Amino acid sequence: MHIVVCIKQVPDSAQIRVHPVTNTIMRQGVPTIINPYDLFALEEALRLKDRLGATVTALCMGPPTASESLRKALTFGADRAVLLTDRYFAGSDTLATSYALSMALTKIGEEFGTPEIVFTGKQTIDGDTAQVGPGIASRLKLNQLTYISKIVATDLEAGRITVERRAETGTQVLATRLPVLITMLEATNEMRRGTIAQALEAARAEIITWNASDVGIEDLTRCGLRGSPTIVKKVFAPTARSEAAEMIAAEGTMDAKARAVIDAIFARAPGVEDDLTAQALHHYV
Amino acid sequence: MADAAKPAPAKGGRANTKKELPEHFKAYKHVWVAVEIEHGSVHSVSFELLGEGRKLADKRGVELAAVLMGDDREALGQAAQDCFEYGADCVYIACDPALKHYRNETSTQVLTDIVNTYQPEILLLGATNLGRDLAGSVATTLKTGLTADSTELAIDEDGSLAATRPTFGGSLLCTIFTLNFRPQMATVRPRVMAMPEREEGRSGRIVEFAPNIVEDDVVTKVLDFIDDRDSDTAALPYADVVVAGGLGLGSVENFQLVKELAAVLGAEYGGSRPLVQKDWITSDRQIGQTGKTIRPRLYIAAGISGAIQHRVGVEGADLILAINTDPNAPIFEFAHLGIVADAVTLLPALTQAFARRLRVTRMAS
Spatial distance between the Cα atoms of A104 and B361, rounded to a whole number of angstroms: 66
Q: At what angle do helices B104-118 and A132-140 cross, to 10 degrees?
A: 80
Residues of B in contact with A260 (CB under 8 A): 339
Nearest-Cα residue of chain B relative to residue A11: B168
Check: CB of residue A103 under 8 Å from CB of residue A216. yes
Of A79-93, B43-57, B174-188, B277-291, least confident by mean pLDDT is: B277-291
Rounded to a whole number of angstroms, the distance between the first and last alpha carbons of chain B is: 60
Nearest to B341 among A225, A233, A257 (CB): A257
Distance from CA of B212 to the nearest CA of A (A): 18
Whether the CB of B345 is below 8 Å from some CB of chain A: the reply is: yes
| Run of H or E residues at B275 | helix B273-277
Residues of A in contact with B359 (CB under 8 A): 280, 284
* Torsion of Cα atoms, A183 then A187 then A190 then A196, to 10°: 0
B250 and B325, same domain (yes or no): yes
**C-beta atoms of B350 and A284 within 8 A:** no
> In tens digits, what is the pLDDT along chain A, a chain of 285 residues?
999 999 999 988 666 676 766 666 677 778 899 998 899 999 999 999 999 999 999 999 999 999 999 999 999 999 999 999 999 999 999 999 999 999 999 999 999 999 999 999 999 988 889 999 999 999 999 999 999 999 999 998 999 999 999 887 889 999 999 999 999 987 656 778 889 999 999 999 999 999 999 999 999 999 999 999 999 998 888 776 657 889 998 788 999 999 999 999 999 988 787 777 655 555 443
pLDDT tens for each residue of B280-309:
998 889 998 778 888 899 999 999 999 887
Residue B248 belongs to some domain of the structure: yes
**C-beta atoms of B2 and A130 within 8 A:** no
B260 and B127, same domain (yes or no): no
Displacement of CA A240 from its chain's centroid (Å): 28
User: Is residue B86 very low, low, confident or very high in pLDDT (cuts 50, 70, 90)?
Assistant: very high
Q: What is the mean pLDDT of chain B?
A: 90
Nearest to B16 among A231, A275, A280 (CB): A231
User: Is residue B362 very low, low, confident or very high in pLDDT (cuts 50, 70, 90)?
Assistant: low
Nearest-Cα residue of chain A relative to residue B292: A168
**pLDDT greater at residue B120 or residue B240:** B120
Helix residue spans in B38-72 (DSSP H)? 44-60
**C-beta atoms of A176 and B221 within 8 A:** yes
Beta bridge partners of B271: B245, B286
B203 and B316, same domain (yes or no): no
B196 and B253, same domain (yes or no): no
Whether the CB of B340 is below 8 Å from some CB of chain A: the reply is: yes
- Give the pLDDT of residue B8: 43
**C-beta atoms of B145 and A229 within 8 A:** yes
Q: What is residue B166's three-state secondary structure?
A: strand
**C-beta atoms of B6 and A23 within 8 A:** no
- ipTM of predicted complex: 0.86
Residues of A in contact with B350 (CB under 8 A): 258, 261-262
Share of chain B above pLDDT 70, in %: 92
**Cβ neighbours, 10 Å, residue A252:** 9
Distance from CA of A18 to the nearest CA of B (A): 7
Range of the domain at B94: 5-217
**C-beta atoms of A25 and B223 within 8 A:** no
Whether the CB of B137 is below 8 Å from some CB of chain A: the reply is: yes
Choose the mutation target among A142, A152, A169, A220 for the interface with B, i.e. most B CBs under 10 Å.
Answer: A169
Helix residue spans in A80-147 (DSSP H)? 94-112, 132-140
Distance from CA of A246 to the nearest CA of B (A): 5
**C-beta atoms of A247 and B340 within 8 A:** yes
B98 and B211, same domain (yes or no): yes
B105 and B183, same domain (yes or no): yes
Residue B225 belongs to some domain of the structure: no
Residue B301 belongs to some domain of the structure: yes
Close Cβ partners of B362 (under 8 Å, ≥ 6 residues apart): A277, A280, A281, A284
Residue B13 belongs to some domain of the structure: yes
Q: How many CB pairs under 8 A join A and B?
A: 375
Distance from CA of B104 to the nearest CA of A (A): 7
Close Cβ partners of A41 (under 8 Å, ≥ 6 residues apart): A5, A6, A7, A119, A120, A121, A182, A183, A184
**C-beta atoms of B38 and A244 within 8 A:** no
Q: How many domains does chain B have?
A: 2
B151 and B79, same domain (yes or no): yes
B84 and B10, same domain (yes or no): yes
| Run of H or E residues at B263 | helix B252-265
Residue B247 belongs to some domain of the structure: yes
Nearest-Cα residue of chain B relative to residue A125: B169
B189 and B141, same domain (yes or no): yes
Spatial distance between the Cα atoms of B238 and B44, rounded to a whole number of angstroms: 10
**C-beta atoms of B128 and A168 within 8 A:** yes
Q: Which CATH number fits domain A2-227: 3.30.479.30, 3.40.50.620, 3.10.180.10, 3.40.190.10?
A: 3.40.50.620
In B276-345 the beta strands, taken as DSSP E runs, fall at: 298-302, 320-324, 337-340
**CATH number, position B15:** 3.40.50.620
**C-beta atoms of B3 and A94 within 8 A:** yes
Nearest to B3 among A14, A126, A255 (CB): A126
- Give the pLDDT of residue B9: 42
B156 and B303, same domain (yes or no): no
B157 and B266, same domain (yes or no): no
Close Cβ partners of B19 (under 8 Å, ≥ 6 residues apart): B179, B180
User: Is residue B1 very low, low, confident or very high in pLDDT (cuts 50, 70, 90)?
Assistant: very low
- Give the pLDDT of residue B18: 61
- Give the pLDDT of residue A251: 83
Residue B228 belongs to some domain of the structure: no
- Give the pLDDT of residue B28: 96
Close Cβ partners of B25 (under 8 Å, ≥ 6 residues apart): B180, B181, B182
Of A66-70, B237-241, B272-276, least confident by mean pLDDT is: B237-241
**CATH number, position B270:** 3.40.50.1220
Whether the CB of B136 is below 8 Å from some CB of chain A: the reply is: yes
B341 and B248, same domain (yes or no): yes
Residues of CATH 3.40.50.620 domain(s) within chain A? 2-227
Residues of B in contact with A259 (CB under 8 A): 353
Residues present in chain A in total: 285
**C-beta atoms of B298 and A244 within 8 A:** no
